[in-house]
Structure 1
Amino acid sequence: MLKDYNFIDCTEKYHSIMQFDKNKNVFVHRWYPFVEGYSKEFIEDILNELSFVPSCALEPFCGSGTTPVELQNHNIRCYSFEVSPFMYLLSTVKLERKYDVETFESYVNVVTKKLSRTSRNIRKVEVLPFGDTIVKTEKTKKWNFHDTAIDGILDIRYAIRTVVDDEEYRRLFTIALASIIVQASNLFRNGKCLSYKKGWENRIFSRKDIHNFFLDKLNSIFAEDIRIISKNSSTVSNSDICYIGDVRKNIQHVPNGKIDLIITSPPYLNSRDYTDIYMLELKVLQLINSHEELRELRKNTLRSHVQVPYDKILPIENERLKNSLLEMSNNELNAWNSDIINMICAYFEDMQFLFSEFAKKMRKGGIIYFNVANSAYYGVEVPVDYIIADIAESCGFKVREIRKARDLKTSPQQSDKIKKLRESVIIIDY
């Protein structure tokens, strides 16, 4: 018999704070315009409603670092994991608190000077990012960057590499470069992918324009925040317990019985591959340098997309999941990708593994805030929040309530039958 959980409509409470967009003018978070994720207010709201002061937290899907950064600001230790090398770089740069104004300004000055005397042919000393569509060639109909834009980016990359000799500041300046990459490109983030901007063919920036985008960022928001950091000391640093790699393989870094708070928003079951969305940053910053490296990264991500094939997966023992799969099976021949059923099974197998690990890492009295969204395939809505609630209880947890956060639009393939999907925050006690 299906268990009925305490369900509460909290859209008035959550509708705005679940969006990272609120962070666009917030200290440190504004260094890079992350699209997905929740705002710092979501973390603050959780801390305000807790009946205890957490001693140690866990964020298994770090993303841009909102959870460990905000918990650090509240002097709370937080283990975190991130599989994307770009997101890991972004998170650890935001967690760093050893920057000082004098050193920062010194490096800004030498980088500015370096950019005033750039190499005529920068590609002799800085290689282009890998891929066939980075720049215009005889074979390309569309390309990611006009020549002057990519040369301006390579100028900056070369300057950072050659005159910023302190690793912490080199990483900081690299994030400043990352923050202008899409702006300098012919692309924009369009949901699950990168698409070409309207009129991109004639939207051409000079090398100097690109330099100025970068230097303006350094001299404005980065300089302002470095001044704040240099005046404040933090007693807790979460950068040393932020790990790069697949949390499923690396969670052993977290001691058993230590965690009393988990706040996370795992990749949704929506076929969105975040390596695609942040492909420009991965390539331009030389974090991914071949198709083989890209495939390996995708293999290590949570199984929430169909960009890599998975072995045949049987569904976990869950009645809600089996009911959804049965309803879908009638329409599978009309699906846009035959691997979707297998992906759905793999996703919940990953969730079951994670909650079994959470049970080892948490101590009694701990609490989990788990942000997920329902999915739709073959005209069938998958109740992801309720299935995860079932999984949590099967692993020894107690679901206190499921809070509706907001409604999300469905994909064009599903919109005829399902107009919206529920995003939820599951509150789980241990």
Structure 2
Amino acid sequence: MDMLRKELEAHIGALTGKLGAGQQLLARNWFARHEFFGPSSTNQDTHDLPFQRWYRFKEAFAPRAVVDAIRSLEAPPSTCVDPFGGSGTTALTAQFLGIRPTTVEVNPFLADLIESKLQTYDTEALLASFRQVIDLAAANKADPAKLLRDAPKTLVAPGVNDRWIYSVPVAERILAYRQAIETLDNKAHARLLRVLLGSTLVTLSNVVISGKGRRYRSGWQNRPVQPTSVHRMFEAAFLNAIEDIVRFGKRPCSEYTLLRGDARVALTQAEPADFSLFSPPYPNSFDYTDIYNLELWMLGYLKTPEENRLLREATLRSHVQIKRSFEATASSPTLDATMVALEARRPEMWDTNIPDMVRAYFDDLVAVLNQLHRIIVPGGSVMMVVGDSRYAGVAIDVGTILVELGQRLGFTLSNLSSMRSMRSSAQQGGTYDLDETLVHMVRR
């Protein structure tokens, strides 16, 4: 661990050498909070890192992965683009390194999370907004039946079949804070406070969230949550945020571009960049929107089932949870051979649309890579952290397929390296035999 920390510090020193002494110290102090509990392709060792601790986000790589990627380049970039922003790790780390980030995110809650981290604040004005929200929420009583009229019925008691995620008193308090936040004139303050309220929602609920989705807590019926916990947890989240902003708010680069929407479309608005680093959703037939249902519905990002459907349709075709078109034309030697094998096993699959989904997934990534070929300057690098999948015993070698597709679009392979082994689903054996790969390509 000590060796890894020294190596990270050396890399940061090299990458921030062009910055002033004060900015170098700020960057070093931020990275000094970085732990080394797991592989850099996971976020498990950054839960207490300033800004990253605002929301517990598992499906992300760690800031040290961003440092390692940039350090491997011949020269540090001045601009960086991330088509799948997620928790904003790439963009935030880039700011600390003096690199101007552009990031894209389709999930409106995550887009707010990213912008909250990248934004600069007047702390006195932010404190005034927080006090205003506290006072308004204390005097307000929200109506869950009205505000969540079209939300899933399991969200608030009595729920469905005696299962619910929030009691009525807890839901009333959460929604009272949501309504108070919505009255703020300062949109940046409202965005941050909404995100911080969102960070409390899982703990206040009867469920837990993992990379596999949502499930009820063991013994949740005997775990009453008090309505007063809403204020206590919201206040604690705000105090953490204000501490981070005061200590690390004035980063070497304060500029950024956030494009909200489907990466396949939003990237058409992106300006030229030197470098791209990202991790797209994996073709594991998991709808990542499910992980954020609590935040999306309780905070008002979604108000109707139709809005929920439109958001799901704007995500990559990496899952079969909604009925949608899987029409696609992507083709490469490895992909075509994989499709033949998947087609032969189609009757054995839990959903017969899976083979079509797999080709559609790569078709969507071709659209993203096409835009990156336009955006990235000649000689610039594109790095992707991707994960393999397996269906009915047929392996999906995502890294190799993307290299073949990228070469047809005008990229040259620089390096293909394994980052870690992931566990396959129980249906596929449940062993750690799926590769997570870093694909490094250079724009010709």
Q: TM-score, normalised by structure 1?
A: 0.89
Any conservation in 1 of the 2:414–2:440 contact (CA below 8 Å)? yes
Displacement of 1:250 in angstroms is: 2.0
**Residue 202 in structure 1 maps to residue 226 in structure 2:** no
Match of 1:178 in 2: 198
Displacement of 1:359 in angstroms is: 1.6
**Residue 335 in structure 1 maps to residue 349 in structure 2:** yes
Match of 1:7 in 2: none
**Residue 160 in structure 1 maps to residue 174 in structure 2:** no
Of 83, 90, 95, the residue aligned with 2:106 is 83
Question: What runs of 5+ residues in structure 1 fail to find an aligned partner?
Answer: 1-12
Displacement of 1:337 in angstroms is: 0.6
* 1:289 alignment partner, SS class: coil
**Residue 245 in structure 1 maps to residue 227 in structure 2:** no
Of 114, 124, 131, the residue aligned with 1:102 is 124
Encode CA deviations 1:189-247: one digit per residue, 9 max, x unaligned.
Answer: 1323211111112212121122111112212x1121121245x3544411xx2111111
Any conservation in 2 of the 1:15–1:406 contact (CA below 8 Å)? no
Match of 1:227 in 2: 246
Could you tell me how far apart the structure 2 residues matched to 1:378 and 1:315 are? 23
Match of 1:420 in 2: 433
Any conservation in 2 of the 1:40–1:70 contact (CA below 8 Å)? yes
- Poorly superposed stretches of 4+, deviation over 4 Å: none
Encode CA deviations 1:92-112: one digit per residue, 9 max, x unaligned.
Answer: 111101x13322333333334
**Residue 217 in structure 1 maps to residue 237 in structure 2:** yes
Displacement of 1:387 in angstroms is: 0.4
- Cα gap change, 1:217/1:236 in structure 2, threshold over 3 Å: closer, same or farther? closer
Encode CA deviations 1:360-417: one digit per residue, 9 max, x unaligned.
Answer: 222111011110011100111111110001111111111111110000000111117x
Could you tell me how far apart the structure 2 residues matched to 1:28 and 1:15 are? 19
Identity across matched positions, percent: 29
Matches within 5 A, 1:28-177: 28-97=51-120, 99-115=121-137, 117-119=138-140, 121-123=141-143, 127-128=147-148, 130-137=151-158, 139-162=160-183, 164-177=184-197
* 1:22 alignment partner, SS class: coil
Matches within 5 A, 1:349-428: 349-415=363-429, 419-428=432-441
Question: What runs of 5+ residues in structure 2 fail to find an aligned partner?
Answer: 1-35
* 2:84 alignment partner, SS class: coil
Any conservation in 2 of the 1:56–1:260 contact (CA below 8 Å)? yes
Letter in 1 for 2:233: F
**Residue 280 in structure 1 maps to residue 294 in structure 2:** yes
**Count of residue correspondences:** 407
Any conservation in 1 of the 2:83–2:278 contact (CA below 8 Å)? yes
Moved more, 135-144 or 197-206: 135-144
Could you tell me how far apart the structure 1 residues matched to 2:304 and 2:323 are? 19
- Cα gap change, 1:235/1:311 in structure 2, threshold over 3 Å: closer, same or farther? closer
* 1:248 alignment partner, SS class: helix
Any conservation in 2 of the 1:100–1:227 contact (CA below 8 Å)? no
Could you tell me how far apart the structure 1 residues matched to 2:324 and 2:316 are? 11
Could you tell me how far apart the structure 1 residues matched to 2:251 and 2:204 are? 35
